[in-house]
Each structure stands twice: as C-alpha cells, then as structure tokens.
Amino acid sequence: MGNRSSVKDLVSGLLLLAVAGGYYWGCGLIRHSSLSDSVGADGFPRALAFVLGGLALVLILKSIVLGVRACRRGSAQLQWDSQLMRSILRMLGLLALSIGYLLILPIAGYVLSLMLLLWSVIVYQGKRFSWRAVLVAAGGAFVFWVIFVMVLSIPLPAGAWVKWL
C-alpha cells in the first residue's frame, strides 16, 4: 500500500509542479497598471505559484524517500493497475461523449443532441442496441425539453437545422 501511495504522490507532485510552472508563466502575461498597489496584480498569483511549487517538491521528495525505503525493504514492486486503467478509459469515453454533445448542441439543437447523449450513454454503459433504449432516450429528451424550455422558459439552442426548414 505504501508503495502505491508513493507512486500516487510522485505523480501528484509532478502534476502540481507542472501546474505551478504553467501558472507562473501566466503571471508574466499580466499587464502592469498605474492604478496598481504595492503588491500588484501579479504579486498574489506569483506567491501562490511559489507555494504550489514548494508543496509539489515536498511531495516528490516524500515519494522518492518512501520509494527508496521500500526498495531497501525489498517490498518495492511496480504493478500494472488494470482496474485503474479501465476506469481511466471509461472516463475518457464518457468525456468524449460529453464533448460530442457540446459540439453538436448548436447544430442539432437541444432535443436531438440530448436524445443522442442519453442514448449513447445508455449504450456506452453496457445496454445492447434496442428500440427500448432509443424510446427511453427520446422520451427522456422530451421530458427535459418540457422542464427546461416549456416550464422554466430557458432558451436552449433550437439548432441550425431549424433555419433550413
């Protein structure tokens, strides 16, 4: 367990260091204003970048120390975590479906895009293709349309195809 957590610490540390670096680079893009105070618009963000960078280094050092200790005890072993990999792939799949929804929303409109999203998530989660799944998705999209557009009067995109009609 200690070995696994030290790998997580190392990955966290490297990731945080990258975030700190990127954020510090972004601080350099902040314009200087004559209205600014002694701290400046970039003062606080720069301090945050340094703190995060320091914390990232602590995490990296901690993980290295734990890893070296595990090696000395002979308990160090890197295992391929297939369950985690599967979880990441499943997450990426769901993320791709959501991005697809964002892309088609202005073109296909709310009802059609939502129906496609509902149907694709249902199929993605393991339901075999069936007319029942299509009907559930269509019914669900209609119910959402009634709630959001009819009841709450929210102007959700009608879709570019409406103009062609």
Partner 1 sequence: MLTQVLHMYVSTPLVAMVFLGVAWGIIGGVLPGISASITMALLVPFTYTMSAPMAIALLATTYVGAEYGGSVPAILINTPGTNSAAATTIDGYAMKCLGRPGEALGISLYSATLGSIVGVIMLTVLTKPLATIALMFTPMSYFALGVLGLSVIASVSGDAPVKALATGVIGMMVATVGSDPVSGVGRFTFGSPDLLSGIEPILVMVGLFAVSEMFVQASKADWGLVEGKVRLRFPGRQLRRRLFRPQMIGAAIGTFEGIMPGAGGAVASFIAYNEARRWSHHKEEFGHGSPEGIAAPETSNAADAYGALIPLLSFGIPGSNSSAVLLGAFLIQGLTPGPQLFKEAGNVINGLYGGMFLAPIVLVILGLLILPACIWLVNRPKIYLMAFIFALILSGVYSIHNSIFDLGIVLVAGVAGYVMRVLDMPFLPAVLGLVLGSMVESNFRRSLVLSDGDYGIFLHDHISAAFLAVSVLFIGGSFCVQLWARVRTGMRVRSSPG
Contacts with partner 1 by CB under 8 A lie at 5, 8-9, 11-12, 15-16, 19, 23, 26, 29-33, 35-39, 41-42, 44-45, 48-49, 51-52, 55-56, 58-59, 62, 84, 86-88, 90-91, 93-95, 98-99, 101-102, 105-106, 110, 114, 117-118, 121-122, 124-127, 136-137, 140-141, 144, 148, 152-156
H-only helix segments in the chain: 2-27, 43-73, 82-108, 110-124, 131-145, 161-164
What secondary structure letter does DSSP report for 127? P
**Cβ 153 to partner 1 shortest distance, Å:** 8
Kindly tell me which of 105 and 159 has the beta carbon lying closer to partner 1.
105
Q: What is d(CA 57, CA 78) in angstroms, rounded to the nearest whole number?
A: 22
Distance, first Cα to last Cα, the chain: 61
**Cβ 163 to partner 1 shortest distance, Å:** 18
**Cβ 70 to partner 1 shortest distance, Å:** 17
**Cβ 42 to partner 1 shortest distance, Å:** 8
Q: What is d(CA 135, CA 53) in angstroms, rounded to the nearest whole number?
A: 52
Kindly tell me which of 52 and 76 has the beta carbon lying closer to partner 1.
52
Query: For 26, what's the count of Cα atoms within 13 Å in the CB-facing half-sphere?
Result: 11
